[in-house]
Structure 1
Amino acid sequence: MSSSNMAPGHPMPPHSANNSSALCHGATGSLMSVAESGDTMFVPMNSRMMESSCQQPNHDSSIHEEEKKDKHMAPVDSTGVAQLAQFKWHCKHCNSKHISKEDCSYYKYFHYPQAIIYNSDSGSELPNELELRNGAVFTKTSISEYTRMGPIKGRLVREQDLDFDEDRNKVFILHKENGDRMVLLAKGQQHWTSKVRSAKSGLEANCLTISIQDSVYFVTSKCLQPNTELIFYTREDPAVEFWTSWTEAWANQTRCTRCSIDFDEIADYRSHISIWHDTSFHGNPQNRVYFCVDCGERKIGAKEIINHCKLKHQTLAFPCKFCKRRFESYNSLIKHKKRLHAPVRPKYECVDCSKSYRDSKALKAHVDSIHKKCSELNCDNCDKIFSSKYALNRHRREVHDRIVQHTCEACGKCFAQYRNFTLLILYSIHYFVRSCFFVFLSRVV
């Protein structure tokens, strides 16, 4: 049975009008990656990048670094992540720098909610306070602000185990308490959490996806009346909040122009750029991120991952998850998967002879080698098609023009082909005729 109760041991949330409106404010800030004066400057990174972040800064370029820091000091509207992930951001609402999610007086109630709605024992585990209607999730009763629901069910995988082409829908990022980042794939799940629709912006949303105790939950951002549809938004990653507010090209949308991919929901787009694009403070989201499937190392750009796999693992960088065959380039892998492993293999059919091929390149080669040459290798007299011009010319000369090139001196028979002439000598009575036989030998020698 699902139930709702107050979570003990946490302060009551603020209920002023200003606080309530601030919680729903859109992502209009940018990333603050500045520490206190004299501290090391932190750049958004995951736990695999922590080792490089611990290096001492170059004090000779401290003046230049301070100028670079001051250039991007706009605050970020973000719920924050675990402290061990080594993020530091300037909170838009608190107007102060945070290094952990507990520091934020606005968003700490999302991480430590005041009420909890548990999943039920039904097949979809839909709580009694909610109902499914027209493929969406609606409230049956009033639900208070800062109420936790879930967790979201799905398959938990590492970032390097993701398939760039397959894993695009219902993708949630889990920020673990130890600083690691994993991905929750909810596509195809029958759980009620997979039916919650993504909001187009933070203003439209009435709940946020929050990482709590190594799971992802929905937490309401306002009081919900009965018959209200649940619409979620995510803003746990300060780096993504920075880039989506820094430029409209990476704002809330459903198409990644860099990868030419269309998404069903904005949440999937935001997860995509967080995983597959360089959203670090000094990075560029136009750059693609690649993961080494052998060691999990994260590289920026195809050239970097190719060189990494070649030097460190002595292998090709792009493996096929179906047959484990590796390829030198990502495009070669895509063509291989479409040709051999696609659920519905595309058929490219020749309009002239109805022969089908698995890719357009093979069809083009067929048309060029067979049908486009028909006009050149087609006999005008009998419509026969030949494989070469030599065969066509010989056919015309011997069949249609009947040009006599070989004559038997014994009997006077004429032949257009020398092969027919030798057969006459070998398999006819002329073989036993002395004069004709010696004529044959002289021609052969």
Structure 2
Amino acid sequence: MDLNVEKRFKCDVCEKCFSQKFLLQRHMRIHTGEKPYPCPVCGKSFSENGALHKHFRIHTGEKPHECNVCGKSFAQLGHLQSHIRMHTGERPFHCDVCGEFFTEKHKLFLHNRTHTGEKPYPCDICGKSFAQNYSLQRHRVIHRDDLVYTCKTCNKEYCRYYSLQAHLRTHRPQKMYDCDVCNKSFNQKSHLHIHMRIHTGEKPYRCEMCTKAFGQNSHLMRHMKTHFKETSVIVNI
């Protein structure tokens, strides 16, 4: 690919340049809001045909991207790539402020708002603002008098969905998996499996930088931050 191709098609709005006219035309939809590709099933529109194609898999159920580790399939390649990081433990996106690592760029983007204080989603009823749209939608429920969440076990009612979820934990069965060594109990077999490493000394997660090993992947990720901080100090000297 010739990286020196002349970019002679300039956007009048943001002055970004493109090597081909059709690329400029596609870019202009960001500014105009034009979405000429509607979904024939639900009517949702998109600015690019490729985006419509990906969206259409929601309706067809097509999931062409399969994980070669666990076999789980995904409609979009990006979702598969994010999923694979669960197996590898890779977290390539790091926060320049606190050094925390993330598996997805979008999660880092949302995390940055904890440092900037940005809350771009205001409630149009009471004016309270939120950093994420999800938090806003959850908040708006408190302004509705007609919405009630009912526990199917005891019929107790709540006006907030997350309050119902907290209540549902009281109906969960007792912890069923007991440790044969210390008799500690767990409600999930996987939690018992992780706990047993305390007794066996198994440490399957090894740091590639200093060979230190850990019993849990989360502990390895936390340890990796120490190397990131050390590197930052060396660079700043």
- Higher helix fraction: Structure 1 or Structure 2? 2
Provide the TM-score with structure 2 as the length reference: 0.33
Provide the TM-score with structure 1 as the length reference: 0.21
With a CA cutoff of 8 Å and minimum separation of 6, indicate the structure with the bigger relative contact order. 1
